[in-house]
A and B are shown apart, each in its own frame.
Chain A
Amino acid sequence: MSAATATLRLALLGKPNCGKTALFNLLTGSRQKVANYPGVTVDRKEGQFTTPAGRKFRVLDLPGAYSLNALSIDEEITRDVVLGRLDDEPRPDLIVCVSDATNLKLNLRLVLEVRRLGVPMILALNMTDLAKRRGIVIDVPALARELAMPVVSTVAIQGGGANELIRQLETSLAESGAPAAAWLPPDVADVSATQREVRRILAATVSQPAVDTRLDDRIDRVVLHPVWGMLILAATLFLMFQAVFSWASLPMELIKEGVAVIGQSVGEWMPDTILRSLLVDGIIAGVGSVLVFLPQILILFLFILALEDSGYLPRAAFLLDRLMGTVGLSGRSFIPLLSSFACAIPGIMAARTISNWRDRLTTIMIAPLMTCSARLPVYALIIAAFIPETTVAGVFNLQGLVLFGLYVGGVASAMAVAGVLRLAAGKGVQSPLMLELPSYRWPHGRSLLLGLLERARIFIRRVGGIILSLMVVLWFLSSFPAAPEGASGPAIQYSYAGMLGRALEVVLAPIGFNWQISIALVPGMAAREVAVGALGTVYALSAAGDDVADQLLPMLAASWSLPTAFALLAWYVFSPQCLSTLAVVRRETNSWRYPLLMAAYLFALAYGAAFVTYRVALILTGG
């Protein structure tokens, strides 16, 4: 029984939106590893699982593909893995083709295309619960006979929904070793022949009542309407940003209180040593001031995940296609750009589904202008310190309105930059859209929860890792060398950080930044939200007393002028300060040219915008 002990390589293949990743999660649980394929930043998701009988599998979740005849980088990777063309990626021993049971017509062609390769295959009919509810009856044994491969039913969003597949994996012996049949890009005649075969098989195995698309169509008549649809989209995005502020206030208050209590009790319990300063001023004050933004980030992600799950996101892309077309982009760029509101990195990586290289490059270049969640803490801090919490027109929260305005500012400048890039590059060929608009679904609670937990984990790991270590470094720079005997100003002025801040202040003073802000911008290069923690540390160390964490707001309000606060907000709309984004751009474009260009243009815009804002605000406030 050597077959039972050797680990078999299994690949999950299917078109986008077929529930492939949900099935992957169900099979492998938490035993997953996300990495990149060599040379490209296409996610390579691999997991492991063992069947009850002890058979071991390594499961690869391939990027979604409609066809082996690839049109995007995602599809190229899928093709190359399936054909065994990648050096470090042996051809899978077994392919599980995941197919949406409610839409076999669109899925079977790929199954037939891959079957020709001669690799052992299993067809997993996913979403069979939904198909049953729609009255679709699939003769599974007949389908298995027609396709000459095992066919199993799965419900990927349900615990135990993969049991039938797992049972099949116990019995089906993967007879690998047979050389893969050669694959040639199909021509129109091939595709027609395959499509005829698909129809014949469907006619013989599936009985389906006329699909009732009336409800979907009725929704779409409004949602895709040029006027009503746009209003709904604007309202949805607006609600999202309002919610980020108003729903989060209670949990944020709790976290803030908690951090203050911890800081205080540690301060009272420890003797007044350098270690206490590190712990209270450096770590608790710094990390606490970033951690407080977890609720807002989670609310933002809750909206994005729910919109994605429901099938609304591609429709928003449809609505915005023409608008984005005026600056040379397509609706396809909308999804990467919306993800960039959470973080530019997944956004830039999502841009690889855009088949047109120029569209993709433009999307990558403007992705950092979408206000990412790391900027949220900075905005939130400054808004809370300088914008009164009043109600406008009875319903709107003024702070929420300002935040919305900053997001709009980012989007508007992104569109302007895309327009300039388009003018610089000249008119190119028209690129295809071909975007699937999947049928509406209620977002699934469990997968939303899993997605949110994942986000929370990433954020907390960031706080515990890079942010924590930067805080310690910053505390060190701000505490040494100590102030000379009989110094009058706060100690930090004489420290390394103070010197660095003063040097930077020369450059940044024209845009209204004082030396404290200048220092905070330096660690902010590694992660934008660190700037908030850094301000916390810098001001904690320059303050005389022990009470720190919860005093940042009034301290800022007292020590910054309004023009300075506005200038910092304007700076952060553009600020190029995120080394990881630049690193991802370098990898995605395979050249230093674009990340350098990106850093340069963002810096120029940030400086210019802050300068104008500062000067105008000075005049308006009578400075």
Chain B
Amino acid sequence: MTAKRLMTLSELPMGQEGTVSSGPFAADGGTVEQETALRLFEIGFIDGERVRVVARGYPGGEPLAVRVGDTMFALRRFEAERVLVTPVCETAP
């Protein structure tokens, strides 16, 4: 599977590199969602940025520890779902 596949950050497998494809978006225009999306933008979840999920909480796979650029943030699943990523295929030619 070398085709580019878009997924949300919360679906990115642990340890897999990805790049942010479409920065945070406010899915259903509530205030909290918009604020969340804007802050994600401000802390660096912007197009082309490299991200990697370093750890996941238990149970339920949240929160996620996400390395973004040179920083690491703990995000809840609903936050991670606001970021679209493309997995980087390590073996791509």
Residues B65 and A224 in contact, CB atoms below 8 Å apart: yes
Query: A321 — which chain B residues lie within 8 A by C-beta?
Result: 57, 62-63, 74, 76
**Interchain CB contact under 8 A, B70 and A220:** no
Contact stretch, chosen from A45-53, A427-435, A506-514, A568-576:
A427-435
Q: Mark A312-331, 1 if CB is under 8 A from B, else 0.
A: 00100111011000000011
Is B88's CB within 8 Å of the partner chain A?
A: no
Chain B residues 45-93 with CB under 8 Å of chain A are 46-47, 54-60, 62-63, 65, 67, 69-76, 78-79
**Inter-chain contact total with CB atoms closer than 8 Å:** 124
Contact with A along B8-46 (1 / 0, CB 8 A): 000000000000000110000010100111111111101
Within A211-241, the residues touching B (CB, 8 Å) are 211, 213, 216-217, 220-221, 224-227, 229
Whole-angstrom CA separation of A205 from B58 in the bound complex: 41
Q: A224-B54, A224-B65 are in contact. Are A188 and B37 (CB under 8 A)?
A: yes
Q: A221 vs B47: C-alpha distance in the bound complex, in angstroms?
A: 27
Q: Which of A102-110, A121-129, A526-534 is the contact stretch?
A: A102-110
Pair A433/B79 contact, Cβ less than 8 Å: yes
A220-B54 CB under 8 A given contacts A211-B70, A318-B63, A435-B73: yes
Segment of A64-72, A83-91, A542-550 in the binding face:
A64-72
Cα A439 to Cα B69 in complex, Å, equals: 13
Q: B63 to A69, Cβ gap below 8 A?
A: no
- Whether B57 and A318, one on each chain, are in contact in the complex, defined by CB atoms closer than 8 angstroms, is yes
Contact check, B43 vs A195: say whether CB atoms are below 8 A apart. Answer: no
B76 x A191 contact (CB < 8 A) = no
Give the docked Cα–Cα distance between A574 and B36 (Å).
Answer: 37
Partner among A191, A318, A322, A430 whose Cβ is within 8 Å of the Cβ of B60: A322
Whole-angstrom distance between the Cβ of A151 and the nearest chain B Cβ: 19
> Please, which residues of chain A bring their CB within 8 A of the CB of B35?
71, 432
Report A482 CB to chain B, min CB distance, Å: 64
Q: List, in ascending order, chain B residues with CB within 8 A of A71's CB.
A: 35, 39
CB pair B69 A318 closer than 8 Å? no
**Interface: A186 (CB within 8 A):** yes
B39 touches A432 (CB 8 A): yes
Docked-complex contact A225 and B55, CB < 8 angstroms: yes
Once the chains bind, are B38 and A188 in contact (CB under 8 Å)? yes
Q: Is the CB of B79 within 8 A of A434?
A: yes
Q: Which residues of A contact B23 (CB under 8 A)?
A: 188, 192
- Name the A residues within 8 Å of B55 (CB-CB): 220-221, 224-225, 229, 318
Q: List the A residue with the shortest CB-CB distance to B30.
A: A429
Nearest 8 pairs of A and B residues by beta carbon: A226-B58, A224-B55, A437-B72, A435-B74, A318-B74, A191-B41, A433-B76, A322-B57
- A191-B38, A432-B79, A439-B72 given; 20 more Cβ-contact pairs under 8 Å: A66-B43, A67-B39, A105-B44, A105-B71, A106-B44, A187-B38, A188-B24, A195-B41, A220-B65, A220-B72, A224-B65, A226-B57, A226-B58, A321-B57, A321-B74, A322-B57, A331-B63, A432-B35, A432-B76, A437-B72
A-B contact pairs, 6 of them (CB 8 A): A211-B70, A221-B55, A432-B32, A434-B43, A435-B63, A435-B73
